[in-house]
Amino acid sequence: MSRGLIIGLCEMGVRARHWPYMGRRHARAIVLTMGLIVIAGWDPAQSASLPLPSLAPILERVIPSVVSISIRSTGAGDTNDATLPQAGGSLGTAENVGPLFEISQTVAAGVIIDASNGYILTNNHVIENADDIRVATSDGSSYQGKVVGADAETDIAVIKIRAAGLTAAHIGDSSKLRVGDYVTAIGNPFGLGQTATFGIVSALGRAEFGVEGYQDIIQTDASLNPGNSGGALINLEGELVGINSAIIGPSGSNIGIGFAIPINTARSVMQQLVAHGEIRRGQLGVIVQNNNATSEELFASTQRLERWSAMLFPDQAVRSRE
């Protein structure tokens, strides 16, 4: 290994602190890659033929399974001081033309899970209150989407399209993720279409930033922005390990704190939504209260009633014990 190469790597590590537009994390990744090349052996004669490290082969396989979703919804708007065009070009106030309704359009993403049946995983908050759902695939084709089922507690929803030739994502195992694993997020930020960003798993099992009632979230620093909701989080094998769901940042902008729902959970929820259209959870009725004189007296009265019932209706008492 040449001495100049070692000095060059050390100098690269120092200069990485001064690359303002690249950032320390990406600079360290480059230095690490160069270090691995050195460890593996450096042959200047073969350097020209070595392929540069790239995620392109992985993304070429995965991007066709990620779709862009456009949601249109109608809701009652604020009619205070609103003016609307009238026949003849005059303007009238909202009071004499009826209620004003706002039509909003939202962009998001989804992941094809079942190509033969057209099932797509996305977020519940994406399709909630949707009047019209349009799904665009990577080849530019557009389809009408239909909600199969949704669950607010896990923020998972399943929609369906009728299309041939779809590509389904390869499902991974999110339980094997470790903090520090490289991941790529693919979504539809700001309606730009399929976009990939790169980062690591920052934390696992997040509870304090859970979506609704769910408390086992993947945290990542892969850049997520409005429109990434429902998109794919994949590992370096190209396997789907999470469904991107939320970010923390001022005014919804990215600051490197994003969250994804583990695919193990999303897949389990999807199976129930496809089968029943809803999640059927067990319920247990329990009332917790302080133990005081009133409750003790009531409990004693209940026990006396049970003893009397057993004396008067012995057959029922036997059946209840069985």
* Site of tokens 């519940």: 124
Amino acid at 294: T
Q: Are 264 and 271 in contact (CB under 8 A)?
A: no
Name every residue whose Cβ is closer than 8 Å to that of residue 164 and which is 6 or more positions away in sequence.
none
The active-site residue out of 70, 125, 151, 202 is: 125
The active-site residue out of 68, 174, 229, 245 is: 229
Catalytic (active site) residue 155: yes
Phi-psi domain of 95 (left: phi exceeds 0; alpha: psi -120 through 50; beta: other): alpha
Catalytic (active site) residue 229: yes
The active-site residue out of 155, 174, 221, 223 is: 155
3-state secondary structure 167-196: CCCEECCHHHCCCCCEEEEEECHHHCCCEE
Catalytic (active site) residue 125: yes
How far apart are alpha carbons 181 and 185 in whole angstroms? 13
Residues with catalytic roles: 125, 155, 229
